[in-house]
Chain A
Amino acid sequence: EVQLLESGGGLVQPGGSLRLSCVASGITFSNYGMGWVRQAPGKGLEWVSVISATGGDADYAESVKGRFTISRDNSKNTLYLQMNSPRVEDTAVYYCAKRLKTDTGMTRAFDFWGQGTMVTVSS
């Protein structure tokens, strides 16, 4: 059974920093790309970032580019999201998600999701 367990959320001041973690189990973590998707309170889903299986390639939404950094440690089966200079509008539940792998390769659809960790940016 695939399990993704996020941690690290909480209250952070605008301009501060926070690091989210996501520990994966039930999969060969190093074989899969991963991503982060967020959901502001009462709102819809917003893609944040993806990373390749090796960690060599990453992509970001324009709204977080230059402020957030995705990374992974395959020896620890762990995905990270470093949030620097967060803004009030970054307040959301952050979901860690596994990217779907098909016959044609790694996609940016997400077939397994963690339960999410809440990040509140406020002074």
Chain B
Amino acid sequence: EIVLTQSPGTLSLSPGERATLSCRASQSVSSSYLAWYQQKPGQAPRFLIYGASSRATGIPDRFSGSGSGTDFTLTIGRLEPEDFAVYYCQQYGSSPVTFGQGTKVEIK
């Protein structure tokens, strides 16, 4: 099973700042099959990024993904008030599918 470790656990930033979230895999993620999701309290996850760097339909271009192998990054270019949430990475190249434990982006 591929273990995904996200860091930091919590990121305290102000609106307008840049957010950089890390997701490290315990072994190489096949074909960069790495996705990112956003979740707000009481809501279902929202699909952001797939294939490590492809934005899902309707996702603003301030969200970008990068990385390959075992190291992946989600960058939010300039934080908007609605971006404060928990973010999860997921690898879907190997069974079982696994998720990281999440990074909370909170308002400083």
> Chain B residues with Cβ under 8 A from A73's Cβ?
none
A-B CB contacts (within 8 Å), total count: 59
> Chain B residues with Cβ under 8 A from A102's Cβ?
50-51
Q: Mark A90-123, 1 if CB is under 8 A from B, else 0.
A: 0000010000101000011111111110000000
Whether the pair A109, B92 counts as a contact (CB closer than 8 A) is yes
CB-CB under 8 A for A109 and B50, given A45-B90, A114-B44, A115-B44? yes
Whether the pair A59, B95 counts as a contact (CB closer than 8 A) is yes
Task: Tell me, yes or no, whether A47 is within 8 Å of chain B by CB.
Answer: yes
Task: Tell me, yes or no, whether B98 is within 8 Å of chain A by CB.
Answer: yes
Size class of A's contact patch?
20 to 34
CB-CB under 8 A for A107 and B45, given A44-B99, A44-B101, A47-B97? no
Instruction: Provide the main secondary structure of the chain B interface.
Output: loop
Whether the pair B97, A108 counts as a contact (CB closer than 8 A) is yes
> Chain A residues with Cβ under 8 A from B99's Cβ?
44-47
Whether the pair A95, B44 counts as a contact (CB closer than 8 A) is yes
Whether the pair B90, A109 counts as a contact (CB closer than 8 A) is yes
Whether the pair A100, B50 counts as a contact (CB closer than 8 A) is yes
Whether the pair A109, B33 counts as a contact (CB closer than 8 A) is yes
Task: Tell me, yes or no, whether B100 is within 8 Å of chain A by CB.
Answer: yes
> Chain B residues with Cβ under 8 A from A115's Cβ?
43-44
CB-CB under 8 A for A44 and B50, given A61-B96, A109-B33? no
CB-CB under 8 A for A109 and B35, given A102-B50, A102-B51? yes
Whether the pair B97, A112 counts as a contact (CB closer than 8 A) is no
> Chain A residues with Cβ under 8 A from B72's Cβ?
none
Top 5 A-B pairs, shortest CB-CB distance: A108-B92, A113-B44, A47-B97, A109-B35, A45-B99
> Which chain B residues have a beta carbon within 8 Å of chain A's beta carbons?
33, 35, 37, 39, 43-47, 50-51, 56, 88, 90, 92, 95-102
Q: Pick 22 A–B contacts, CB within 8 A, sort by A.
A: A44-B88, A44-B100, A45-B90, A45-B99, A47-B97, A47-B98, A50-B97, A61-B96, A100-B35, A100-B47, A100-B50, A102-B50, A107-B92, A108-B95, A108-B97, A109-B33, A109-B47, A110-B37, A111-B50, A113-B46, A113-B47, A115-B43
